[in-house]
A and B are shown apart, each in its own frame.
Chain A
Amino acid sequence: MIKEDTRADVRERPRIGVYALTSCYGCQLMMATVSDILEVANVFDIRCFYMVSSASTMDEEVDIAFVEGSVSTEKDLKEILEIRKNCKTLVAMGACAVHGGVQSWAEGNLSYDEIYEEVYGDDKIDMPGLQAAPISQYVHVDYSLPGCPPEEDEIMYFLTTFLVGSFPEQKDYPVCAECRTTGNPCILIESNVPCLGSVTTAGCGARCITFNVPCIGCRGPVPHNTAWFDALATVFKKRGFTEEFVRARLKIFAAHNKNLDKMLKKAFGGDK
């Protein structure tokens, strides 16, 4: 456990834990460096925070657990079950935890054994692996905080709504909404680039497109089955992009989405 906080009101403060499964620790870094981090540390009782303290453990009882990373190993699976057991509210934090992350790219194309062989050949590794998956595949997730990494304002919004006993409202509209209000031209229409903004959850303020870089969907598909991959794939098809290209691009961050393959099939026709 992180060094005991002895201040008088510590017991009244919500206990939070910040954990990491297979990931880059980027979400934790984002959380550890929010500009109000000192105040956050004052109003919450931070029981564990893997990036900040190596004394962090999974068996702390917490009110809110923020978990980054995908379940990619047997160890991850054991840990996420442990975290779920010890927390009241579980927040999947970042692209890996919410959608499986880039490590899920091969989902639906290659089996775990095929991926293993590609990477390690005949070598043996100590850590038994699993096909990378979002944590919701194994445990109940209460709230999702998307992003690669999540935005500071969203991290603060999650923390403060929990603090007042409320809950964070999920964004369920695409990046395009923020892109237009930011005043960007639509680069898909104007420059014929394969921008995924229309199927990707908003919240980033269309950062990439503002710098003329097409969206690759790091915030994951718009939730509640409102990411219309079929309509977008039809647009891409009309603009000359191949099915392989469109599938590969959408798989970067949306490989685990149940609608993806059937919607792509609908747009491109045929079995492949």
Chain B
Amino acid sequence: MRYVKISRENTYMFLERLKDLGTLHAPQNISEKYYDFVEVDDVHSVIFEYNRTVRPPRRFFYPEKETMFKFNMEEVEEYPVEIQSERVILFGVHSCDIVGLRIIDATFLDEQPDPMYKKHRENGIIIGISCLPDEYCFCNVRRVEIVDAGFDLFFHEISDGFLVRVRSITGHKLIEPNLDLFEEEISKEDTDYIAEFEVKRRSMFSIQGNWDDLRYHLEWNMDHPMYVRESEKCLGCGNCTTTCPTCRCYDVKDIPNLDGKTGERVRFWDSCQFRTHGLVAGGHNFRPTKKDRFFNRYHCKNAYCQEVTTSYCVGCGRCTYFCPAEINFKQNLLEVRGEA
């Protein structure tokens, strides 16, 4: 892999140049405490050290709401819509979110590629950044704390700037015309810094080990009292799913026009925490109670994923950090594992 080096000062310059290539989004403060990927105006407002964004990056490739096609009921015909997509550059994506996007890729690209997602994704440039965990993070037990695919560039903190891993052809193309900003000479001091950074980072996680066997613990303890107790606290607000970097569920709705014959089909994010998620024709509901819906998320994230990966949860901590009822996903899973 190619490595280059850039100072903090030059990073701002690099961001300025990235703005010319498309719409650049990077983590910025949206309130006293919270961050989000916001379109960059002043590059100096970009935050290099942040815990997590309110919204995961999936929305850039899988928007909250999107028209799938238009239809005419008299002609009994459907018409494709032109997919509106522009080059999006995401700077400052953490490893958990990069893996999150790859999990979404598995659903939307692997077997039956979704044309909208595919186009948005092809238009995306992903630039990762290293981070230190807070008490909500557990990407280490999900074994996604280090990524080596799914990004174009990855910025690792070093003493006076960043060491950059160049992963893709797109990544090379971003570096090549901007070599005036980068150094190609990597010193022992730089790699030592990264090695030490990793040691420090690993020691900071509140839990250690790995959770590759979590699925079995969940399957063996389906009637664990945790589900009843914790789902009682649940507001059913769906914050855990709307902020999740790997939630993929959507619902569709037909919006007719005033001519009484044409209209469009729109898809929009759904959540398994909502009643209609499990509602089917005839009024039957697969998950009629709040507890059923609560249970579903724990199992979807950790046990319904044999085909793709060991886990649909990347340990970003959002579902706990943004839960108004302070339901602690990590703690509850530890309880089911018998390790609380």
A residues apposed to B, CB below 8 Å: 36, 39-40, 43, 156-157, 159-161, 163-164, 166, 169, 172-174, 176-177, 180-181, 183-186, 188-190, 197-199, 222, 224, 226, 228, 230-232, 234-235
A160 and B243 contacting across the interface, CB-CB below 8 Å? no
Contacts of A166 in B (CB 8 A): 254, 256
- Say whether B275 faces chain A, with CB atoms less than 8 Å apart: yes
- Say whether B276 faces chain A, with CB atoms less than 8 Å apart: yes
Contacts of B324 in A (CB 8 A): 176, 186, 188-189, 198, 232, 235
Minimum CB–CB distance from A240 to chain B (whole Å) comes to 14
B322 and A198 contacting across the interface, CB-CB below 8 Å? no
Q: Report B106-143 CB contacts with A as 1/0, cut-off 8 Å.
A: 00000000000000000000000000000000000000
A232 and B263 contacting across the interface, CB-CB below 8 Å? no
Contacts of A164 in B (CB 8 A): 73, 256, 260-261, 263
Contacts of A197 in B (CB 8 A): 237
A160 and B253 contacting across the interface, CB-CB below 8 Å? no
A180 and B258 contacting across the interface, CB-CB below 8 Å? no
CA distance A235 to B73 in the complex (A): 48
CA distance A197 to B255 in the complex (A): 25
- Say whether B181 faces chain A, with CB atoms less than 8 Å apart: no
Contacts of A39 in B (CB 8 A): 258
B55 and A181 contacting across the interface, CB-CB below 8 Å? yes
- Say whether B22 faces chain A, with CB atoms less than 8 Å apart: no
B275 and A228 contacting across the interface, CB-CB below 8 Å? no
B237 and A198 contacting across the interface, CB-CB below 8 Å? yes
Contacts A181-B55, A198-B324; A169 near B233 (Cβ below 8 A): no
A180 and B55 contacting across the interface, CB-CB below 8 Å? yes
Minimum CB–CB distance from A204 to chain B (whole Å) comes to 15
A183 and B30 contacting across the interface, CB-CB below 8 Å? yes
Can you list the 8 inter-chain pairs with the closest CB atoms, starting with the nearest?
A176-B237, A180-B242, A185-B34, A198-B237, A160-B256, A185-B31, A198-B235, A181-B64
Known: A163-B258, A190-B33. 12 other contacts (CB 8 A): A36-B258, A39-B258, A160-B260, A173-B238, A176-B237, A180-B238, A183-B30, A184-B30, A189-B324, A198-B236, A222-B236, A228-B235
- Say whether B36 faces chain A, with CB atoms less than 8 Å apart: yes
- Say whether B54 faces chain A, with CB atoms less than 8 Å apart: yes
B237 and A174 contacting across the interface, CB-CB below 8 Å? yes
Contacts A163-B260, A169-B253, A181-B55; A190 near B34 (Cβ below 8 A): yes
- Say whether B257 faces chain A, with CB atoms less than 8 Å apart: yes
Minimum CB–CB distance from A49 to chain B (whole Å) comes to 17
CA distance A17 to B116 in the complex (A): 41
Contacts of A184 in B (CB 8 A): 30, 54
B236 and A228 contacting across the interface, CB-CB below 8 Å? yes
B257 and A160 contacting across the interface, CB-CB below 8 Å? yes
Contacts of A190 in B (CB 8 A): 31-34
**Which chain A residue lies CB-closest to B38?**
A183
> Which chain B residues numbered 294 to 331 have a C-beta less than 8 Å away from chain A?
322, 324-326
Contacts of B332 in A (CB 8 A): none
Contacts of B34 in A (CB 8 A): 185, 190
Max chain A Cβ within 10 angstroms of own Cβ: one of B64, B261, B274:
B274
A189 and B36 contacting across the interface, CB-CB below 8 Å? no
B235 and A235 contacting across the interface, CB-CB below 8 Å? yes
**Which chain A residue lies CB-closest to B234?**
A231
B258 and A231 contacting across the interface, CB-CB below 8 Å? no
CA distance A136 to B136 in the complex (A): 46
> Which chain B residues numbered 13 to 34 have a C-beta less than 8 Å away from chain A?
30-34
Q: Report B40-83 CB contacts with A as 1/0, cut-off 8 Å.
A: 00000000000000110001000010000000010000000000
**Which chain B residue lies CB-closest to A169?**
B253
Max chain A Cβ within 10 angstroms of own Cβ: one of B55, B233, B235, B243:
B235
- Say whether B11 faces chain A, with CB atoms less than 8 Å apart: no
A172 and B276 contacting across the interface, CB-CB below 8 Å? yes
Contacts of B55 in A (CB 8 A): 180-181, 183
Contacts of B193 in A (CB 8 A): none
A172 and B235 contacting across the interface, CB-CB below 8 Å? no
**Which chain B residue lies CB-closest to A197?**
B237
Minimum CB–CB distance from A199 to chain B (whole Å) comes to 7
Minimum CB–CB distance from A23 to chain B (whole Å) comes to 26
Select which of A156, A173, A198 is within 8 A of B274 by beta carbon: A173
CA distance A176 to B237 in the complex (A): 6
26 interchain pairs (CB within 8 A)? A40-B258, A160-B257, A160-B260, A160-B263, A172-B274, A172-B276, A174-B237, A174-B238, A177-B238, A180-B322, A181-B59, A183-B30, A183-B55, A186-B54, A186-B324, A189-B322, A189-B324, A190-B32, A190-B34, A198-B236, A199-B235, A222-B236, A230-B232, A231-B233, A232-B324, A234-B233
Contacts of B64 in A (CB 8 A): 181
> Which chain B residues numbered 236 to 274 have a C-beta less than 8 Å away from chain A?
236-239, 242-243, 253-261, 263, 269, 271, 274
Minimum CB–CB distance from A65 to chain B (whole Å) comes to 20
**Which chain A residue lies CB-closest to B65?**
A181
Contacts A183-B55, A190-B34, A231-B234; A177 near B260 (Cβ below 8 A): no
